[in-house]
Amino acid sequence: MYQPIHELTDAYRRADLTPTAVAEAYLARIDALDGRLGAYLTVVRDEALAAARESELRWRAGAPLGPLDGAPVALKDVLCTRGVRTTCGSKMLESFVPPYDATVVERLRAAGAVILGKTNMDEFAMGSSTEHSAFHPTRNPWDLARVPGGSSGGSAAAVAGGLAAGGFGSDTGGSIRQPAAFCGVVGMKPTYGRVSRYGLVALASSLDQVGPFARDVRDAALLLGAVAGHDRRDATCIQAPVPDYGAELSKGVAGLTLGLPDEYFIDGMDPDVERAMESRTRAAGFGAEVKRRIMLGTYALSAGYYDAYYGKAQSVRTLVRREFAAAFARVDLIVAPTTPNVAFKHGEKEDPLSMYLNDVFTIPGNLAGIPGISVPCGFSVTGLPIGLQVLGRPLDEPRLLRAAYAYEQATPWRSRRPELT
């Protein structure tokens, strides 16, 4: 269950494995473990098996649709799926069944991917722990008492726990990279505009990007390659051609300049007080974090306050962009920790501000619109995964992936598995 997608498809090619058998095994594992993990909100068993059988026929005919044909993947429940409810982790959309597929979903289907289900998330992607789902929290496969990170915690936990071979999430301030770091998998936020946002329910339109979760960097490259590229339904989508990310990997890192910014090495911000978990029942509708943000947004945009808040934020964004541009004039890639701490315990960060601080290393990348990837880079003394973040120039995903791949191949971290039985 811990084989990366490129190994699965190699096995399909050799007929050692069939997509149907693999899908069945994943569905069985979801049945057995997801009650404790809580990675999924919806599992689409029949659709998954039907897709797997079709994939199997293609492999048997020697005509697969590509390197993702028959790959069992999990989608964050913020991506619209035709005929399958898409809740965004909110009671508000508990019964919303989209009549259309997000562009990402459409492209995954066209690539032959087998969609296993929709994964848990902080309500409307507002959060960094997947505790703020209106349905149930998701647990970290490495320590069930801890959070998987968020807001794409469901997809991260599913991939880390062997409940999906790959997954997709959305990253607005770190929502892919941070849970990837917490769960010990690869997570990537592409350049803003690299992947279509059509069908992604927005958190912040000018920051959101869809990106993959993967067992290894090669899978991340394949998953990204399948969904990237221009979409006429998204006016903010970039028209640039999509490189063959997989082919880039082996080019190595010779000649690349890496930068390690001082700003990313700060004093630990873990609070020393662990607060007792407050039990909370949610009324139908929006949860507390969503309400908090609605009120913040409403206030910030009210007449007379626009310049002080929205205008100011725009200026700050411009400064962040300039600073990154200046840094990338000197170095090719920036290497930094993904998060200031490892996965924390459920209920540990009750104070919204300390929760927001979890994104402090990832959010600048969103503001600047640049690509970033988190790869496993070791474990804490308590055995929890730690993530290494690599940031690059806009559209420089190839170099980003090359560096991440070289690091991954040189280190042993990806062979370690969570003890989840």
The residues of the shown chain that bind other proteins, judged by CB under 8 A, are 79-80, 86, 88, 93, 96, 98-100, 102, 197-202, 204-206, 232-236, 298, 301-303, 306, 310
The residue (of 45 and 233) whose beta carbon lies closer to other proteins is 233
**Closest-CA residue to 404 (of 257, 243, 220, 222):** 220
User: How many other CB atoms are found less than 10 A from the CB of residue 406?
Assistant: 18
Active-site annotation, residues = 76, 151, 175
- If 0-12 CB within 10 Å is exposed, 13-18 middle and 19+ buried, where does residue 396 land? middle
Cα gap 81→99, rounded to integer Å: 8
Q: How near is the Cβ of 149 to other proteins at its closest, in Å?
A: 23
One-letter identity of residue 21: A
Q: Which is nearer to other proteins, 26 or 124 (CB)?
A: 124
Kind and range of the H or E run holding 298: helix 288-301
Q: Which is nearer to other proteins, 201 or 403 (CB)?
A: 201
State which residue, 99 or 412, has the beta carbon closest to other proteins.
99
Per DSSP, the residues of 252-285 read --TT--EE--GGG-------SPPPPPPP-PPPSS
- Looking at the DSSP assignment, which residues form a beta bridge with residue 169? 211
Nearer to other proteins, 251 or 317 (CB): 317
Please report which residue ranges of 126-216 form alpha helices under DSSP H: 153-160, 177-183
Tell whether the torsion through CA atoms of 75, 77, 78 and 81 is positive or negative.
positive
Q: In this structure, how many other beta carbons lie within 10 angstroms of the beta carbon of residue 67? A: 21
Distance, C-alpha 77 to centroid of its chain = 12
* Token duo for residue 290: 């969503």
